Chains A and B, each alone.
Chain A
């Protein structure tokens, strides 16, 4: 790995660089809200893990503090990353998939996407289970609109992950 790339990657973690697309824009037509929903589940899970993490008592051994700091850092990093993935995936749907006629048929679309961006930022910034729950809710709302535009019925079911939250799935024949 080149030193310059390593430095830039490190900077990217602190403050993500804008993306320069060498984009194909074929367009490929392959879109799915599932990525965003999955990312929202991860954000919820990270909040749960953080909340379950036993805080070291005063007078703890340095090893215990180190262990705690390591786990907390990993959960927080993953939470941030997946909140950002949710944003990115929703932006792709909004920018590349949804067409003006979809927005006409579903007038709440733009407002829902706006809400998703704000909620995801909050879920990224804070240790806030409610914000994470809200993020999943809004990605579910977007998923529902998405599948409606494809005339595919949806079902709300308990997700088969440790989070077990209600999730919108397409009912594929």
Chain B
């Protein structure tokens, strides 16, 4: 498995950190050895629609998974709606972000 995955950001729930059109490079191996930490920017599979990817920030980590939220919380659908994201749904940690 190639460790770095690219994603194009859509929508606005991570503003001002990320805006539509930005790219993120994700390290898929980042959580092999340790659990996510609070504050990590992560790409996860949507627990309610696993073919879809979400980019969010880890707010809390528990045994049931990572509680993720958007930086721009008003329009964000996140763990407040779908609960903690199980470990196997976490793609990896955002390693680099690229803005136009």
**Chain A: residues with CB nearer than 8 A to chain B?**
1-2, 4-5, 8-9, 11-12, 16-26, 95
In contact, B18 and A19 (Cβ under 8 angstroms): no
The 3 closest A-B CB pairs, nearest first, are A24-B75, A20-B7, A22-B14
For the side of the interface on B, what is the size category?
Answer: 20 to 34
In contact, B6 and A23 (Cβ under 8 angstroms): no
- A24–chain B nearest beta-carbon distance, Å: 4
A-B contact count (CB 8 A): 81
B100 interfacial contact with A, CB 8 Å: yes
Q: How far is the CA of A21 from the CA of B75 in the complex (A)?
A: 12
Q: Using A2-B98, A8-B23, A21-B55 as known contacts, list a sample of 11 further A-B pairs with CB atoms less than 8 Å apart, ordered by residue number in A.
A: A2-B100, A5-B22, A5-B23, A5-B98, A12-B6, A18-B5, A19-B10, A20-B8, A20-B55, A22-B13, A24-B12
In contact, B23 and A21 (Cβ under 8 angstroms): no
Q: How far is the CA of A2 from the CA of B96 in the complex (A)?
A: 12
Q: Which residues of A contact B93 (CB under 8 A)?
A: none
Identify the interface centre among B10, B23, B72, B100: most chain A CB within 10 Å of its CB.
Answer: B23
In contact, A22 and B11 (Cβ under 8 angstroms): yes
B52 interfacial contact with A, CB 8 Å: yes
In contact, B77 and A8 (Cβ under 8 angstroms): no
Q: What mask results when residues 1 to 38 of chain B are scored 1 for a CB within 8 Å of chain A, else 0? A: 00001111111111100100011110000000000000
* With contact pairs A5-B23, A8-B98 given, residues A22 and B70 touching in the complex (Cβ less than 8 Å): yes
- B79–chain A nearest beta-carbon distance, Å: 13
In contact, A9 and B70 (Cβ under 8 angstroms): no
Choose one: B11, B43, B46, B98; the contact of A4 (CB below 8 Å): B98
Q: How far is the CA of A24 from the CA of B99 in the complex (A)?
A: 20
Q: Which residues of A contact B77 (CB under 8 A)?
A: 23-25
Sample 29 A-B pairs with CB under 8 A, ordered by A number. A2-B98, A2-B100, A4-B23, A4-B96, A5-B22, A9-B100, A11-B6, A12-B6, A16-B8, A17-B23, A18-B5, A18-B8, A18-B53, A20-B43, A20-B55, A21-B10, A21-B46, A21-B53, A21-B54, A22-B12, A22-B15, A22-B56, A22-B70, A22-B72, A23-B10, A23-B54, A23-B77, A26-B75, A95-B49
